[in-house]
Structure 1
Amino acid sequence: MDNIPKDDFKWFGEGFDGFPKKLPEDVVEYIVFIIDIKLSDVQIRERLQAFQRALITLEKKFLKDYIWQRDALKLELVREDGRWMLKGSTNYGDSVADEWLIVYLLRELSKEFKDAWIRIYDTDGEFLLIEGANALPKWLNPEVAEHRVWINMHRLLVIPLGKHGIPKPLKMEEALHIITETPAALHHLPKMEAEAFHRLKGYPTAIAENQHHATLPLPRKVAHILHLNPSYIAPIVEAFYLRDPISLRLIQPSKSKTTLIFPPEDFVEVSVRFTKVLYAQLLGQNWAAPGPWGIALSELVKKGPNKAEKSEIAIKLSAGLEMLLQHSLHSGKRPVREIKVLLEDLDSGDDTLPTDADIAGWPKREDDEAWLNIDFSEFEKELDGKGGTKPDAFGDKSAQENLKKMVERFNAFMNDEEAGIEGAGGLDPMDEDNDSDAGERKWDDPDDEDEDSDESNDDPPVQETEESDDDEDVEYADVEFNEYETALEKFMMLSPGEKAILTEDARALALAEEGDDDEDEEIRELSKAMEAELFSHDALNLDPNRGAGGKAIKKDIKGKGKGKAKMEDLVEEDEDDDDGDLLDDDYNLAENMLKSFKGQVGLAGPAGNLMGMMGVQFPNDADDEPKKEKTMDRTHAHFAQYQK
């Protein structure tokens, strides 16, 4: 468990405070605090309610006809951790423009409410810092950025590091305490702010430019629903865009055995308002309309061949509304409930479908679709950073500007000699793949050592100089110390998990070597005991001319050595005496082994064990002295036979 990366998550029994929270995909969350030490709790609540009313006013001014992709901006007054705040979240789906619209509205309100501190973040975290990545201070990385980025008085402010300058993430309470106690300590970085808010340059004009109007042939009932509430277009398009086999079956009466709510008939020409994202989603779908939808599409194309594309979009839109109402997956959505109420009114007679005269009085608008046009050759030039040469290569100028901005940032990063994959905050040393860059590390690369050794073989031989033993000892000591220091430094740079693994391996190896040492020591002690035993009985004395004390024994004229000799016949001879007779190794070995065996007094001993291992069994030595010479002779003969 030691090699598992550490994090701040606390398990049960360690102060567990809930599982880590993470926003779903395509969701932006925003929080508004009123921070003023002079205001009471009631006054703070009133200021937040005033903020809500100001937001409604701003929405009426700029968002009268705006269509949200999924969710609208909403701020709810809540109380958490003893504080009043405004809090909300919006699922913007595929429309990133919705997310930046929220940033624009809240930032505009921060000019009016100078005591309002606003935090906005999404699935990626502090996405405003991602936009301003080129101008971030080096210490401001994603690991420490949480709760440090705030909007106040139309400015983007960053909470700096603490007094000790140790990068670490902040908790919400810590951030609010810093803002309350030392609001002037927050950093305002104009360059970073300009990068972070560059997408807001076209606002509020960009709000209206995000809309697209198209005149389509729709069934009368579908036209009536969209006329009553144009914002229904978003869930309708999404239902078609995310259709599944169940949805396709439900819009075919022959398979579902149900009646269509919005049959593709009684078509009328009406103007429909989309967002650019919604219109592109319908236009880009390849769909073979089944059953009655395919028949209706063929009829529409026959009536107006030049409007085949608009007829396809109209059929997709009508089928999407049918899927939205028929599929139980969407039954809990608010637009579905509202549309069902409108249908009930039609069925009860409380409402009627519009006549042709009514529809003729509806405003019609057809917007240019040039924003969909892109010259891909010019697009490639923009990606290469060369810039396009055709002024009309991009129908959507804002998309072209965003593309240019992205390429400029990428090129700036690539041309920055100080930039690297570690980004602003740097990586842990162990995260770097620099095995071939031994010069930047504090340990040597084995590959480099091999290369150095190869290169040294090509060098001319160097004249060797004599060195004293003392110098060699000093040199070897330095080498051993340097190796130890290098190994220690290398070990200290490892992660805790790796250190634990190496420590366990070293401990196991030490125990194994200690066991080997114990076995070796036992063998050495046994060898010493056997050697002492053999020496005590002259078993290791291979010189037949020497006795138990290493004394030389005289031989008779026939050259036969006496088993016993008188003391006066013993003459000491020097070991280096070259005048002695040749040794009879076999006889001397047998005699010494017999003496050693005799010393065992019938018990187990080294001589008997050694000979037994060779298959030789000594005779019993129980006879008296006169019989010993015969026994010795029989033993000599037996030993000579064994040698043959």
Structure 2
Amino acid sequence: MEIFSAVSDLPDDCVEYTIFLRDARESPTSKLERDAKLEDIASAASELSEPWTREYIWQRQEFNVKVVEYLGEPCLRGVTEFGDSIDDEWFIVFILRELSKKFPDIVVKITDNDGEFLLIEAANAIPKWLNPDNADSRVWIYNGNLCIIPTEDPDLATSYTLHDALQFLSNNASMLYHPQILQKEAFARLQGYPQAIQENIHRAKVVVPRRVAQILHHCPRYVAPASEAFLLRDPISMKVCSAMRNFPPEDSVTCVVKITKLLYTQMKSQRIIPPAKFKVPKANEEGYDEAELGMKIACGFELLCAGSGKSRVRKQKDYSTDPRFKEYMRMLEKEGFFKHEIPGTPLYQQLVSQAKKTFAEVSGDVYNTSDIGADIINGLETMDELSDEVIATWDSTVDDDKWMDIDFTEFESMLDSNARHGAGYNDQPEDTEEAKREILESQEKVKSMVDRLRKFMDDEKAGFDGVEFDDDISDRDEEEAARFSRIEELDDDDEVNEDDFLEFFLKEALKLSPEEIEQFRTDPTPEELKRLDGKTTASSERKDEDDDIADELLVKGIINEGENNDFEIMRNLLESIKSQEGGAGPGSNLLARLGLGSN
């Protein structure tokens, strides 16, 4: 079984891709000539993608390939860590697909932690005989198409070895299975490319330290690592932002920065008390949005340069107990890689070292990432002083961020569309009209609840995270003001009357009748929520009861990470309140934010 086609050990946020010469095994050319050809293809890949990647902002790592030898086969291989940006993964698919159109003598394999994710996309169009047990080395991108090596007998279909697959691709490419419906399903997310690439970028006005503006103008891609450094911050690392030695905010300018829509959403959703160095207006005052976002980006740069951003480098590990490496070594020995050398000899040890190096490269266990913070500091030393006159010549176009608003009509249509294509849709009970009416009523209740939460979060009269305090708060003792304003530091012993709030919530937010409220008290999982969840189990599995309420609201609700998240907000909140039994927890924290707790 081909060990690298089962990629369960690949991190969740990585994609790996390999490019083989289709006729390498049949061609009499030397290794030197094959490597030279692969280098030419790597250069062509850079030239091909350059117009699209020139101003592209990668979340973490960019597309890259280098020549390696894998199981005796010369190839180009790369691993990209894309973080939360699935768009980066699909951009790489687009690049590789276009490259395969330009070079008909190459074949491409691309996988992530889900394995053959293109097959998952095309699940409704793949042959019935194809399954994870026999798909190894059968799935390739060739000449712009997703192709499957066919089988003569579906009942006896087995996996291919890499060598056998390349042999088939070299001699029988015309026999590959690649119907149009397969291409449509597998590459559906690439519709609109390459124009869609730029649609991922948002231009926002910010107030940032002059040095930050200078860096982002010369190298816009640095906004991604700076944003991630801020998003992954911790209280200890944030101490450097109290001084802002590298990027003093006293000398700030207003400019427009480019940032991905994903990062923009993530940064906007963060709640933070500005460090004392920053002069951020109140939430209801003009200039608040650009000052707040600029403050967050500036803090991210300070974290990067202070070395406080979380490292992305994966260190090489000991492979002696790694089953993948053991299988890899067995296959190398079978292929004659060790040239019948006796273990322990100098040549054998040299070959083992070479095998480990190649394994680390192709398995994604080692990433050669530069010290971005050091690069930024060094770059600042070579840059000329940035004047206001120069900034005035920069593009000042700002994009509207209404794309962040939830369109519930479109949302419901998407849910309905996905349900019709999902398993079991045709097995609905006969009273579908009645069921549909009940679901729509439930959806209206969910929308009402989400609107209430969003109104609470956006209340301009509220302080950070919805805690209200008077305009004369500056006259209070600083420690007392900080205690009321830092929601993130709520004590675990905050007392909340869980029973009273539960009745209030069910009655006011969901508009349930007294009978329905009583049913909820006696049944851990209300029937309406059972239908919405699609399951009739006696109790729901709880998700990470230790997660803080910020994740529960901002990530699952406001950001809308997924298709059913508005319903999840309601279900998770109710489950949390019931499971606490009057004690502290996420539900208690939310009650305190709503002003229903007692200190």
TM over 0.5: yes
Partner letter of residue 29 of structure 2? Answer: S
Q: Is the 8 A contact 2:229 2:309 kept in 1?
A: no
Aligned to 1:31: 18
Q: Whose radius of gyration is greater, 1 or 2? A: 1
Please point out which of 409, 415, 425 is paired with 1:414.
425
Aligned to 1:356: 388
Q: Is the 8 A contact 2:200 2:261 kept in 1?
A: yes
In the TM superposition, residue 164 of structure 1 has moved relative to its aligned partner by: 7.5
Alpha-carbon distance change, 309 to 328 in structure 1, aligned in 2, over 3 angstroms: closer
Q: Indicate the SS of the match to 1:144.
A: coil
Partner letter of residue 22 of structure 2? Answer: I
CA distance in 2, matches of 1:93, 1:132: 24
Question: What are the Cα deviations for residues 412-467 of structure 1, in whole angstroms up to 9, with x where unaligned?
Answer: x63389xxxxxxxxxxxxxxxxxxxxxxxxxxxxxxxxxxxxxxxxxxxxxxxxxx
Partner letter of residue 361 of structure 1? Answer: T
Question: What are the Cα deviations for residues 171-206 of structure 1, in whole angstroms up to 9, with x where unaligned?
Answer: 323322332343333212221221001111110110
Aligned to 1:324: 304
Aligned to 1:184: 174
Please point out which of 29, 34, 38 is paired with 1:40.
29
Whether 1:247 aligns to 2:211 is no
Alpha-carbon distance change, 202 to 408 in structure 1, aligned in 2, over 3 angstroms: farther
Alpha-carbon distance change, 63 to 172 in structure 1, aligned in 2, over 3 angstroms: same
Please point out which of 265, 269, 277 is paired with 1:280.
265
Please point out which of 182, 189, 209 is paired with 1:219.
209
Partner letter of residue 70 of structure 1? Answer: R
Q: Indicate the SS of the match to 2:272.
A: coil
Please point out which of 190, 202, 205 is paired with 2:192.
202
Larger displacement relative to structure 2 (131-140 or 232-241)? 131-140
CA distance in 1, matches of 2:171, 2:72: 18
In the TM superposition, residue 250 of structure 1 has moved relative to its aligned partner by: 2.7
Q: Indicate the SS of the match to 1:138.
A: coil
Please point out which of 338, 357, 363 is paired with 2:375.
338
Partner letter of residue 334 of structure 1? Answer: D
Please point out which of 148, 151, 173 is paired with 1:158.
148
CA distance in 2, matches of 1:20, 1:124: 7
In the TM superposition, residue 270 of structure 1 has moved relative to its aligned partner by: 0.9
Alpha-carbon distance change, 336 to 330 in structure 1, aligned in 2, over 3 angstroms: farther
In the TM superposition, residue 410 of structure 1 has moved relative to its aligned partner by: 2.0
Aligned to 1:86: 76
In the TM superposition, residue 161 of structure 1 has moved relative to its aligned partner by: 3.2
User: Sequence identity of aligned pairs in percent?
Assistant: 39
Q: Is the 8 A contact 2:304 2:372 kept in 1?
A: no
Q: Indicate the SS of the match to 2:205.
A: strand
Aligned to 2:165: 175
Q: Is the 8 A contact 1:48 1:86 kept in 2?
A: yes
CA distance in 1, matches of 2:97, 2:2: 34
CA distance in 1, matches of 2:161, 2:241: 51
CA distance in 2, matches of 1:209, 1:135: 29
CA distance in 2, matches of 1:360, 1:157: 52
In the TM superposition, residue 146 of structure 1 has moved relative to its aligned partner by: 2.6
Aligned to 1:313: 293
In the TM superposition, residue 330 of structure 1 has moved relative to its aligned partner by: 4.8
Partner letter of residue 263 of structure 1? Answer: P
In the TM superposition, residue 143 of structure 1 has moved relative to its aligned partner by: 2.7
In the TM superposition, residue 264 of structure 1 has moved relative to its aligned partner by: 2.1
Q: Following superposition of structure 1 onto structure 2, how do residues 92-491 of structure 1 map, counting pairs within 5 Å?
A: 92-161=82-151, 165-253=155-243, 260-293=245-278, 296-298=279-281, 301=282, 305-330=285-310, 333-343=370-380, 345=381, 350-376=382-408, 378-385=410-417, 406-410=418-422, 414-415=425-426
Q: Is the 8 A contact 2:19 2:107 kept in 1?
A: yes
Q: Following superposition of structure 1 onto structure 2, how do residues 533-572 of structure 1 map, counting pairs within 5 Å?
A: none
Alpha-carbon distance change, 366 to 27 in structure 1, aligned in 2, over 3 angstroms: same
Q: Is the 8 A contact 1:9 1:20 kept in 2?
A: no
Q: Indicate the SS of the match to 1:415.
A: helix
Q: Following superposition of structure 1 onto structure 2, how do residues 513-552 of structure 1 map, counting pairs within 5 Å?
A: none
In the TM superposition, residue 379 of structure 1 has moved relative to its aligned partner by: 1.7
In the TM superposition, residue 20 of structure 1 has moved relative to its aligned partner by: 8.2
Q: Is the 8 A contact 2:57 2:221 kept in 1?
A: yes
Please point out which of 23, 46, 53 is paired with 2:43.
53
In the TM superposition, residue 363 of structure 1 has moved relative to its aligned partner by: 1.9
Q: Indicate the SS of the match to 1:134.
A: coil
Q: Is the 8 A contact 1:107 1:154 kept in 2?
A: yes
Query: What residue ranges of structure 2 are gaps of 5+ in the alignment?
Result: 312-368, 429-599
Partner letter of residue 241 of structure 1? Answer: L
In the TM superposition, residue 112 of structure 1 has moved relative to its aligned partner by: 1.4
Q: Indicate the SS of the match to 2:257.
A: strand
Q: Is the 8 A contact 2:66 2:78 kept in 1?
A: yes
Question: What are the Cα deviations for residues 485-534 of structure 1, in whole angstroms up to 9, with x where unaligned?
Answer: xxxxxxxxxxxxxxxxxxxxxxxxxxxxxxxxxxxxxxxxxxxxxxxxxx
Partner letter of residue 205 of structure 2? Answer: T
CA distance in 2, matches of 1:33, 1:227: 38
Q: Indicate the SS of the match to 2:286.
A: helix
CA distance in 1, matches of 2:420, 2:398: 35
Question: What are the Cα deviations for residues 13-50 of structure 1, in whole angstroms up to 9, with x where unaligned?
Answer: xxxx9x98721111111111112234623443333222
In the TM superposition, residue 357 of structure 1 has moved relative to its aligned partner by: 0.9
Length, aligned pairs only: 367
Alpha-carbon distance change, 378 to 162 in structure 1, aligned in 2, over 3 angstroms: closer
Alpha-carbon distance change, 223 to 9 in structure 1, aligned in 2, over 3 angstroms: closer
Q: Is the 8 A contact 1:134 1:409 kept in 2?
A: no
Q: Is the 8 A contact 2:15 2:110 kept in 1?
A: yes
Q: Is the 8 A contact 2:211 2:247 kept in 1?
A: yes
Aligned to 1:570: none
In the TM superposition, residue 351 of structure 1 has moved relative to its aligned partner by: 3.5
Greater length-normalized contact order (CA 8 Å, ≥ 6 residues apart): 2
Query: What residue ranges of structure 1 are gaps of 5+ in the alignment?
Result: 1-7, 11-16, 254-258, 386-405, 418-644
Q: Indicate the SS of the match to 1:118.
A: strand
Q: Indicate the SS of the match to 2:15.
A: strand
CA distance in 1, matches of 2:154, 2:258: 56
Partner letter of residue 274 of structure 1? Answer: I
Partner letter of residue 342 of structure 1? Answer: G
RMSD (Å) for aligned C-alpha atoms: 2.7
Q: Normalized against structure 1, the TM-score is what?
A: 0.53
Larger displacement relative to structure 2 (57-66 or 27-36)? 57-66
Partner letter of residue 421 of structure 2? Answer: R
CA distance in 2, matches of 1:220, 1:9: 53
